[in-house]
Amino acid sequence: MVAGSMISQIELVLNELPESEKKVAEYILANAKDVMFMSIHELAKKADASSAAVVRFCRSLGTDGFPALKIRLSAEVENIPYVGYLDVESNETVPSIIDKMLSNTMLTFQNTASQLDAESVEQAVRMLQKAEVIYIYGVGASFIIAEDAAQKWLRLGKNVYAISDRHLLASAMATKSENAVFWGISNSGETKEVVQLIKRAKEQGIKTISLTRPGTNKISQLADISLFTSRAPEAKLRSAATSSRFAQLFVVDIVFIAYASAQFDFTVEQLEKTRQMIEVLYD
């Protein structure tokens, strides 16, 4: 398992937390080494919070409880020098921007890999294998991820729909819902259009997968299988998502490669067929 930065994840979620959980987060950031040796009750007392607030805080981070948080924190504090996400400044040089983007992207991959649940990936693969039709949806930058996922499974012979018009996609789900999967993609996990469609999918008896950042959010709570990226920050001045987009592509690639590996010979055969068909277009 790749070690990700628990400290960076706490910093990223800090301003979104309720006051009781924020006290816990601030205490951990200021006393990371001491927290590794505390019980949940000791941390609650030191942070002037309740034990329940500590439990909720761990859930907000997407960790499996306080012991798991301490393990991640211990590995980082003892062995890994912390380098946080770096923002671009005014009139910065291109070499500096390259270095910062590389650092941010690597940290995004590490954080995503460290918390991605292998069992959930395996469940998603099995669900996609059985599906006769796959619907994939996201809004804005997340729709780019949906299109990328769709072209991957199309090349393996799956019937896949990645449609930006949610009304048209809902119509498709209504007419072809038997043995189908809906995959909703949203960095926040709260995108209204994705919430609406995942609810409609469940009403139709369609199995559902979500891809969101970790923590409690509507879309992951509704989904049958929840996949999570890291909580990646974005620059204040930007034209499109960067870190979150890389994290989403990373997870989609992992699911696809796991899917391909599970039926390796068939995958190789299908990809060769599509390669040959595309080559004909250049003749």
In a domain, 158, yes or no: yes
Asked if residue 102 belongs to a domain, the reply is no
Q: Are residues 75 and 123 in the same domain?
A: no
Same domain for 221 and 154: yes
Report yes or no on 1 lying in a domain: no
Instruction: Using the predicted structure, report yes or no on whether residue 49 has a pLDDT greater than 60.
Output: yes
What is residue 117's predicted lDDT score, i.e. its pLDDT?
87
Half-sphere CA count of 149, side-chain side, radius 13 A: 33
Q: Is residue 93 part of a domain?
A: no
**How confident is the model over 244-261, as a mean pLDDT?**
93
Specify the number of domains making up the chain: 2
pLDDT per residue over 61-83, tens digit each?
Answer: 877 788 878 877 776 766 545 55
Output the domain CATH number for residue 266: 3.40.50.10490
Residue 226 is encoded by which pair of tokens? Answer: 């929840």
Q: What is the mean pLDDT of residues 187-199?
A: 95
CATH classification of the domain holding 45: 1.10.10.10
Based on the fold, state whether residues 39 and 134 are members of the same structural domain: no
- pLDDT per residue over 88-130, tens digit each? 777 888 888 888 787 778 778 877 887 788 999 999 999 999 9
For residue 243, the enclosing domain spans 118-280
CA dihedral 184, 110, 55, 17 (to 10 degrees): -70
Between 56 and 270, the higher pLDDT residue: 56
